[in-house]
Amino acid sequence: MTMRKVAVIGAGMTKFVRRAQETPKELSWLATRMALESCELTLDDIEAVCMGTAPDSFDGIHMKGEYLSDGAGAWRKPYMRSYVGGGTGVFVPIQGWYHVASGMFDVVLVVAEEKMSNFYPHAQAAFLTIFDHTTERPLGPNLLWIFALEMNRYMTTYGISKEDIARVSVQHKRNAANHPCALLGDPDITVEDVLNSEVLAYPVQRYDVSPVSDGAVAIVLAAEHVAKRLTDKPVWVEGVGWNLDTAHWTNRDLVYPRYVEYAARMAYDMAGIKEPKKEIHIAEPYDPFDYKALHHLEGLQLAERGQAPQLYIDGTAARDGNMPVCPSGGLLGVGNPIAAAGLMKIAELFWQLRGEAGDRQVPGQPRRGIAQAWGDLMQVGTVVIMGR
Amino acid sequence: MTENIRSFPGTPLSEQDFEEGKILFNYDELNGKFSWDTGIAIGSYLAGLKNGVILGSRCSTCRKTVVPPRTVCEWCFRPMQEYVPLHDTGTVNTFSLCYVTWDMKRLTDPQIPAVIEIDGASPLHGIMHLLKEVDPQKVHIGMRVKAVWKSAEERTGAITDIQYFKPVKEV
Amino acid sequence: MTLLERDPKSPLTWSGNLPVTSRYTFGLAGEKFFRAIKDEGKIIGSYCKKCDHTYVPASQFCEKCLAEVSDWVDVGTIGELHTFTVLYEGYDGARLVQPEIVAFISLGDGGLIHRLGEINLDEIYFGMPLEAVFLPEGQRQGSILDIRYFKPAG
């Protein structure tokens, strides 16, 4: 099968905030307009639109893909919403990629939006229904359980300390201090701050968790012949992968995200990457909780099992390290408007690889980066590799 | 390009803006009420719980016993061959000490949700339930636990027919 | 090959809910649109010069060209009936004592869905002028219900 080369040529995003005044479609519009302006295109140049947005219940709008369409520039265009839970933000660029790689379209808009503050007063209620309605919900679960259970299994199996994990939160929140859109950037946060924060569901403490947020992100994808005419600095989508594990989450080993590994291997094969640790220069693993970043770095084959904390201890993961991890500030620092947070990672790689990340710029002219998201019921991995 | 952008769009609001009427807003609720068919396998699982039995199902091709039971093996996609009554004991695969409810009310005594690998099911195959009658500080992964059932008259065919799991040996 | 069967003693159903409660802001354009209804008893739209299109309710952006729409226009309180329906059943499926007439009333290049009042079924025709009947100023909350209904104009 021959597939066309696809480049990211533009990106835009809103601030990530706790409560936005803008409606969900206005947030989408702000990000979309900025993405178009960044590559000097207009809506007339766009042939199709892909929308990524997580559960309808967050925005409180049923069929919100359709609701969001005008803000995403989809008026009278081929349009489709994709949804794989938290993995959506890195899946929707994959959807855009195959729209273009297949030869069907030359220029495609990819938009992701979430307005979680609409869920009021308790955003957690939206997550209750991820638990089985008959065999789990009668126990009165909350979303934190599932993360706390996975985190405890991961820590205990490998003998990883809370302190090791807290370093992730600290570094990401410090990185976010340089991101103009960040909700929780903090240049002065320390490991002690994380360890002293309120215990919500042992081993999860407040600063282990990313904030509920509102925001939108958009990127523009173009086929090679178009991208080369429009920009001197296209950033190529070199590999994509996605994979789903069993829906019976209590029937599998929570220590290791096999589904992320499979998604990563698919993407590495496509990109011709044999030694990920050497060939990936920037990693943006999904970090809704700090331990998840470690979990995912292992699934992405960027660390041996149980060894990911070492990347933060020896400085490899620092912005000026050998393989910076979440130079954006990640979900922990920039914020977590679910689908938009994943696409933010793609936008970050775009800016980093073009050398346009400003105060967040990773030194040494990085050539290749990987972004990953995760979601559904602890079971989906979505991966995109980008290079210049 | 983006390094030169000083202001990104987005208008943050505070709770005060809502309270003081600085902006307009309204409330609504979905009010979604459902009655789900229990289905073949979960229906039988619930009937088993009413009888005081945790039921799994077995795929002899994959030599796998899963819990809760299901009608099809997701590994080989063949129908599961039989229901298997399992033990009501198991091993804690992982646990949490949870100090908040879903609506963020604080709890002084933590709830202890756990994944419990049920004896008789394949390794790593468990269910989620709660632990009680145990000092939260002494719960550990690998701990052996046993189901505490409601009395036969009180059981209705629900996961809550098991009130909770408790340690096999006192700790 | 035998298939697993449901235990005849199985409970047939399990009941539950989706506890989804929402608080919606009206957004950048919605704030202006509903303030105009609440404070001035006016219906406003927004006009995109490039596309020559007046959005009602007002929109912050033009969906055809994605430009920001900054011309706010008073479209008056009289629109035209585009289409209508007569409802004989409520949400719960029960027969309504008084059937309700719901219409799409064209205003600018868009329009509003609302109830009709002070009207008999046999008077209705497509294109008829309909006028918004507002609640008195002090009672208006900034809601679509600040318009009680539309009635035949004139």
Q: Is C35 on the interface with A (CB under 8 A)?
A: no
Taking the CA of residue A2 and the nearest CA in chain B, the distance in Å comes to: 31
Domain that holds residue A320: 6-120+211-387
Q: Is C13 on the interface with A (CB under 8 A)?
A: no
Angle at the Cα of C152 (from C146 to C153), degrees rounded to 5?
85
Say which of A70, A119, A137 has its CB closest to residue C22: A119
Pairing of β A107-115 and β A48-52: parallel
Helices A258-271, A290-299: inter-axial angle, 10-degree rounding: 50
Count of C-beta atoms within a 10 Å radius of residue B35? 9
Burial class for B153, CB neighbours closer than 10 Å (0-12, 13-18, 19+) = exposed
- Span A306-332, mean pLDDT? 98
Judged by DSSP in three states, C23 sits in strand
Tokens matching residue B93: 């695969």
Query: Under an 8 A CB cutoff, do B96 and A133 touch?
Result: no
Query: Under an 8 A CB cutoff, do B37 and C12 touch?
Result: yes
pLDDT grade, residue B84 (50/70/90)? Answer: very high
Whether residue A359 is contained in a domain is answered as yes
Angle at the Cα of B37 (from B33 to B41), degrees rounded to 5?
140
Angle at the Cα of A20 (from A17 to A23), degrees rounded to 5?
140
Handedness of CA C143, C148, C150, C154 (dihedral sign): negative
pLDDT digits (tens, 9 = 90+) for A21-77: 999 999 999 999 999 999 999 999 999 999 999 888 888 888 999 999 999 999 999
Q: Is B65 on the interface with C (CB under 8 A)?
A: no
Tokens matching residue A38: 């960044």
- Span C109-114, mean pLDDT? 98
Q: How far apart are CA B51 and CA A72, in angstroms?
A: 54
pLDDT digits (tens, 9 = 90+) for A269-287: 999 999 999 999 999 999 9
Q: Is C38 on the interface with B (CB under 8 A)?
A: yes
DSSP C123: G
**Residue in A322, A374, A367, A331 with CA at minimum distance from that of residue A349:** A367
Query: Under an 8 A CB cutoff, do A29 and C61 touch?
Result: yes
Judge whether A20 and B10 are in contact, CB under 8 Å. yes
**pLDDT tops 80 at residue B4:** no
Burial class for C64, CB neighbours closer than 10 Å (0-12, 13-18, 19+) = middle
Residue A35: the pLDDT is: 97
Q: Is B40 on the interface with A (CB under 8 A)?
A: no
- Span A319-346, mean pLDDT? 97
Three-state secondary structure string covering A251-317: HCCCCCCHHHHHHHHHHHHHHCCCCHHHHCCEEECCCCEHHHHHHHHHHCCCCCCCCHHHHHHCCCC
**Which chains pack against C, by 3+ Cβ pairs within 8 A?**
A, B
Q: Is C66 on the interface with A (CB under 8 A)?
A: yes
Whether residue A182 is contained in a domain is answered as no
Can you say whether residue A12 is alpha, beta or left, with left for phi > 0 and alpha for psi between -120 and 50 degrees?
Answer: beta
Query: Under an 8 A CB cutoff, do B69 and C15 touch?
Result: no
Query: Picking from A47-61, C102-116, C139-153, which range would have the lowest pLDDT averaged per residue?
Result: A47-61
**pLDDT tops 70 at residue B3:** no
Task: Using the structure block, give the residue that is written with the tokens 């409660």.
Answer: C21
Q: Quick one: which H or E segment has residue C44?
A: strand C44-48
- Span C14-42, mean pLDDT? 95
- How many interchain CB pairs under 8 A, A with C? 71
> Chain A residue with minimal CA distance to B114?
A149
Residue C18: the pLDDT is: 84
Judged by DSSP in three states, C48 sits in strand
Residue B1: the pLDDT is: 53
Longest CA pairwise span in chain C (Å): 76
Handedness of CA A336, A339, A342, A348 (dihedral sign): negative
Share of chain C above pLDDT 90, in %: 91
Query: Under an 8 A CB cutoff, do C66 and A32 touch?
Result: yes
Residue A129: the pLDDT is: 79
Query: Under an 8 A CB cutoff, do A21 and C60 touch?
Result: no
**pLDDT tops 70 at residue A186:** yes
Q: Is A23 on the interface with B (CB under 8 A)?
A: no
Q: Is B57 on the interface with C (CB under 8 A)?
A: yes
- Span B86-92, mean pLDDT? 98
Whether residue A307 is contained in a domain is answered as yes
Say which of C2, C28, C143 has its CB closest to residue B26: C143
Task: Using the structure block, give the residue that is written with the tokens 């004991």.
Answer: B89
What contacts A288, CB < 8 A, 6 or more positions away? A86, A147, A209, A210, A331, A332, A336, A341, A374
Give how far the C-alpha of residue A293 lies from the chain's centroid of Cα atoms, to the nearest Å: 11
pLDDT digits (tens, 9 = 90+) for A111-167: 999 999 999 888 777 788 789 999 999 999 998 999 999 999 999 999 999 999 999
| Cβ contacts of B159 on chain A, cutoff 8 Å | 134-136, 138-139
Handedness of CA A283, A185, A88, A160 (dihedral sign): positive
Say which of A13, A138, A143 has its CB closest to residue B8: A13
Task: Using the structure block, give the residue that is written with the tokens 């004592």.
Answer: C97
ipTM score assigned to the predicted complex? 0.93
Which residue of C13, C14, C91 to mutate against B (max B Cβ within 10 Å)?
C14
Three-state secondary structure string covering chain A: CCCCCEEEEEEEECCCECCECCCHHHHHHHHHHHHHHHCCCCHHHCCEEEEECCCHHHHCCCCHHHHHCCCCCCCCCCEEEECECECHHHHHHHHHHHHHHCCCCCEEEEEEEEEHHHECCCCCHHHHCCCCCCCCHHHCCCHHHHHHHHHHHHHHHHCCCHHHHHHHHHHHHHHHCCCCCCCCCCCCCCHHHHHCCCEEEECEEHHHECCECEEEEEEEEEEHHHHHHHCCCCEEEEEEEEEECCCCHHHCCCCCCHHHHHHHHHHHHHHCCCCHHHHCCEEECCCCEHHHHHHHHHHCCCCCCCCHHHHHHCCCCCCCCCCCECCCCHHHHCCECHHHHHHHHHHHHHHHHHCCCHHHCCCCCCCEEEEEEEECCCCEEEEEEEEC
**Residue in A331, A363, A253, A338 with CA at minimum distance from that of residue A298:** A253
CB contact residues (below 8 A), chain B span 64-83, against chain A: 66-68, 70, 74
Residue A121: the pLDDT is: 86
Q: Is C23 on the interface with A (CB under 8 A)?
A: yes
The dihedral formed by the CA atoms of B137, B143, B146 and B147, expressed in degrees to the nearest 10: 60
Taking the CA of residue B32 and the nearest CA in chain C, the distance in Å comes to: 5
What contacts B151, CB < 8 A, 6 or more positions away? none
Query: Under an 8 A CB cutoff, do A73 and C66 touch?
Result: yes
Q: How far apart are CA B125 and CA B87, in angstroms?
A: 13
Q: Residue C84: CA atoms inside 13 Å, Cβ hemisphere, count?
A: 27
Whether residue A14 is contained in a domain is answered as yes
Query: Picking from A87-91, A101-105, A252-256, B51-55, which range would have the lowest pLDDT averaged per residue?
Result: A252-256
Judged by DSSP in three states, C146 sits in helix
> Chain A residue with minimal CA distance to B125?
A251
**pLDDT tops 70 at residue B89:** yes
What's the domain count of chain A? 1
Q: How far apart are CA B95 and CA A10, in angstroms?
A: 44
Residue A326: give its domain's CATH number: 3.40.47.10
DSSP C122: G
Handedness of CA A270, A272, A275, A279 (dihedral sign): negative
Judge whether A376 and A244 are in contact, CB under 8 Å. yes
Count of C-beta atoms within a 10 Å radius of residue B37? 13
Q: How far apart are CA A28 and CA A19, in angstroms?
A: 15
Q: How far apart are CA C41 and CA C33, in angstroms?
A: 10
pLDDT digits (tens, 9 = 90+) for C60-79: 999 999 999 989 999 999 99
CA dist list (Å): A250 to A153, B76, B86, B124, C100: 12, 19, 16, 8, 51
Q: What's the mean per-residue pLDDT of chain A?
A: 96
pLDDT digits (tens, 9 = 90+) for B92-129: 999 999 999 988 899 999 999 999 999 999 999 999 99
Query: Under an 8 A CB cutoff, do A75 and C16 touch?
Result: no
**pLDDT tops 70 at residue C1:** no
> Chain B residue with minimal CA distance to A133?
B36
